Amino acid sequence: MEQQSKLKFWSKALLPLILLGILLVFFLKFGPLGVLKSNIVPLEKAFIQRVVFSAEHITLEVFNDGPEPVTIAQVLVNDAYWQFEITPKNTLNPLEKAKIDIPYPWLEGDFEKITLISRNGVTFEKEVEAAALTPKFNFFYFKTFVLLGIYVGVIPVLLGLLWLPFLQMLRARWYSFLLALTVGLLSFLGFDALEESFDLLEAIPNAYNGIGIIIIGFTLAILTLSAISYKSEHHRQIKGEHFQALIFGYLIALGIGLHNLGEGLAIGSAYAIGEIALGATLVIGFMIHNVTEGVAIVAPLTRFVRQVSNFYFHLIIMGLLAGAPTIIGAVVGGFAYSPVMAVFFLAIGAGAIFDVTFDILHYMAKGKWTSLFTLTNVAGFLAGLLVIYLTGFLVLG
């Protein structure tokens, strides 16, 4: 009797899928697609994911981003036909990858335009503004990317934490202003992370569904941090406001760290392919711009320095949590950049930042959301937006 009930259960569960399979087979063989297939021009779509420059060689990483097989027949470099080798094979089935090696005497800093031509005459192009030797993993480049992450991520955050003594000197009535300032800083960072993730969608094959990656990363961060906040609610009520402020500090640092991981991936990749001139001016610009992240971490903590045990230990951990992921991002981005991972982590960072922003606003409102719109809070929020907006110009300088 039990086996019959199980059989009945699974037959009901699988029946729609079996019927769907039969429908698909029928459609492919006898339906419009089966009838017209011979008259439809194949939709070929190859995506050049990465260009690697080595001595006298250009290597392309190619992905079949369409529904039909693609056969690479010819390769042009700067409008001239060139010999090439492709592995594992010339024909790529949907979602398959291949590497194309082109013996070519490229020159550092030159513009390179590479065109692939399929057997059916469809072309796929990739342009490189300034050719540069692609780093291979060795100690020199590893040290370079680690230092890059320290300069761009760790140092700015730690410098921002040093504003704590100054912020402590402000009167208690300024605490609401500082919280609103934090909300302004975080809001700008959150939208900035989302913008960067959307900008990177062009570097992702359509088959990967970049919008889906953003939605998954964004909601995953919000739901995870909301679950953490819910779990810690009991401890907050027992331990008081200083514990709440400490949680805010860690959540802010985590959100910023995830944001900086995504940024580090993009920065490391740009440095590796020579698309960014990382001179002293630009590095200093990043440092000044990102120092505001340290302010966002310490602002909610200014009233509770003496109430939190081992406060400065917590502060250092927060600074590293926010800044150190930039190192990881820069190293990974320099040697094995993946725009998919960059989009995913930027989306996670944006979701985490918006989640903690909401938590701070909820704390400030104390159940009455209209109370947020005081002159002090509005001024603090606008100040936070303006500070990070204006320091952003230094990155361009």
CA distances from 149 to 228, 262, 333 (A): 28, 12, 11
Q: Residue 273: what pLDDT?
A: 63
Q: Residue 215: what pLDDT?
A: 95
pLDDT at 32 over 60: no
Q: Residue 60: what pLDDT?
A: 93
Q: Are 293 and 189 in contact (CB under 8 A)?
A: yes
Over range 218-236, report the average pLDDT: 80
3-state secondary structure of 38: helix
pLDDT at 70 over 70: yes
DSSP-assigned letter for residue 309: T
pLDDT at 1 over 70: no
Give the pLDDT confidence of 326-356 residue by residue, as tens digits.
Answer: 899 888 888 877 788 888 888 988 898 898 8
Q: Residue 131: what pLDDT?
A: 86
pLDDT at 193 over 80: yes
Give the pLDDT confidence of 79-129 residue by residue, as tens digits.
Answer: 899 999 999 999 999 889 999 999 999 988 889 999 999 998 899 999 888
Least confident of 26-35, 44-53, 103-112, 139-148: 26-35
pLDDT at 11 over 90: no
Q: Residue 41: what pLDDT?
A: 57
Instruction: Identify the CA nearest to 287 among candidates 149, 110, 82.
Output: 149
Give the pLDDT confidence of 144-169 residue by residue, as tens digits.
Answer: 889 888 988 898 899 888 888 888 88
Position with higher pLDDT, 11 vs 316: 316
Tokens of 227: 């679950």
DSSP-assigned letter for residue 136: -
Average pLDDT taken over every residue of the chain: 83
Instruction: Look up the CATH superfamily of 46-128.
Output: Immunoglobulins (2.60.40.10)
Tokens of 234: 């009991």
Least confident of 150-164, 203-217, 235-249: 235-249
Q: Residue 279: what pLDDT?
A: 46
Position with higher pLDDT, 305 vs 380: 380
pLDDT at 207 over 90: no
Q: Residue 76: what pLDDT?
A: 94
Question: Residue 103: in which H helix or E strand, if any?
Answer: strand 97-103
pLDDT at 278 over 50: no
Quote the CA–CA distance of 51 and 348 in Å, as a whole number: 27
Domain segments of the chain as ranges: 46-128, 139-396
Q: Residue 233: what pLDDT?
A: 66
Position with higher pLDDT, 36 vs 135: 135
